[in-house]
Amino acid sequence: MEKKIKDKGKVIKPNKAKIVIIAILTAAVVIYAIYGIWQLATKPTDIFLIEQGSISQEERVEGYVIRQEEKVQGNNYKNGMVQIKSEGEKCAKDENIFRYYTEGEEDLIEKISELDEKIDEAQKSDTTGPLLSDIKLLDKEIELRLNELSKMNDSQKIAEYKKEIQDYIKKKTEIIGENSKSGSYLNKLIQERKNYEEKLNSGSEYVKAPMSGVVSYKVDGLEDVLTPDDFSSYNRSFFDGLNLKTGQAIATSTESGKVVNNYVCYIATIIKKDKTNGIEQDDDLDLRLSNGDEIPATVYYIQEQTDNDVLVVFKITKDVEKLLDNRKISFDIIFWQYSGFKVPNTAIIKENDLTYVIRNRAGYLDKVLVKVEKESDTYSIIDNYDSDELKEMGVSSSSLGVSTKINLYDEIQAVAN
């Protein structure tokens, strides 16, 4: 006998009933899913994990690098230059940093090289010359210097040792020339070489460092324009008139160089008054360069100007060499930066001048007293009060009926809308 189901006067077979039930359940699941998605969209999560993090107040600006620097250029700058000191290398005052080529230098060097070959052949062909003790001593010194050179990294020391080796070879050649059968021929070659060498050296113009610092060949012609002598003369129109591109590298000169004070430099920027975050002269903060490096700085000079412009000059005394490549740069002023337990402001409760968070442990909620170290627009850095602080405040966990200790990786509950 067939079993039937009555519904409002209609008879529905069992398979049709199952379809209706499944449809109802499916609709319920879809509605629940849509509600869940809506909840996530309007309130993505209400549980947060206590983790280490940092918050900061920053402002992106453009600025101009100002250095104590002296440009140096000799008379023979059209001849081309030979770097004695490399880019970024330190130098002392009055030390040779580069020289200009002698006129006809290539020809002179070629003639000296040819004479060196002739001198060497003359020495080898003379087998009757005495092996004097002085020659043995010079050979020993040459060998010693060559061994030391292979272990060296100091460019200045390498240059010194090379010069010593050349001097020893000259002395050795002179001794052989004076004491061998072919002495008159050798002496003639040696004297001819000396004449060419004197001509080469006398025609070279050496340029000395006017002060101690680091050598740079990145010369842009602003060395005497952007100086730290008078910051009050700088304003927005002055900087705009320089027509500099942000981040553009200074080209390397083949005619001149400069010496830069590597202990201090300055970065000047013009920002609006409402963006200064209340900084004052002598305030210490950090600057973040475009490559991500953070360097410490001090507000050295600050001046309010027209149209709410404020001139701010930062003094840099660390990593000055990192600022040699550019004149106009973009960077972040980090007014303040705090690290610690980072939580969203939506998890903070403020009651009677005290601050709390709601901890969630497997669904059990308890109130925890915390102190806010620093607050940004969206996050806060919190910490626990120590016992002395609680005593000074005159509160305790028992008197408040709350916990006074929050831990790393605790879960906290969002409470704000």
Q: Which residue has the higher pLDDT, 119 or 77?
A: 77
pLDDT tens digit string along 150-177? Answer: 666 665 666 676 677 677 667 766 666 5
pLDDT tens digit string along 336-374? Answer: 999 999 999 999 999 888 999 999 988 888 999 999 999
Closest CA to 197 of 149, 172, 163: 163
Q: Quote the pLDDT of residue 137.
A: 76
Residue 304 has pLDDT above 70, yes or no: yes
pLDDT tens digit string along 126-141? Answer: 544 555 566 667 667 7
8 Å CB contact between 324 and 331: no
The mean pLDDT of the chain is: 81
Compute the Cα dihedral for 159, 321, 249, 258 and give only its sign. Answer: negative
DSSP designation for 281: T
Residue 121 has pLDDT above 60, yes or no: yes
- 323's CB contacts (< 8 A; 6+ apart) are 65, 67, 265, 267, 316, 329
pLDDT band at 289 (very low <50, low <70, confident <90, very high): very high
Q: How many residues does the chain have?
A: 417
DSSP designation for 252: B
pLDDT band at 112 (very low <50, low <70, confident <90, very high): low
Structural domains of the chain in order of their starting residue, each with its CATH number? 48-54+340-413 (2.40.420), 60-70+218-337 (2.40.30), 79-208 (no CATH)
SS3 189: helix
Compute the Cα dihedral for 198, 200, 202, 208 and give only its sign. Answer: negative
Q: What is the pTM of this model?
A: 0.66
Compute the Cα dihedral for 319, 303, 247, 334 and give only its sign. Answer: positive
Closest CA to 63 of 211, 255, 271: 271
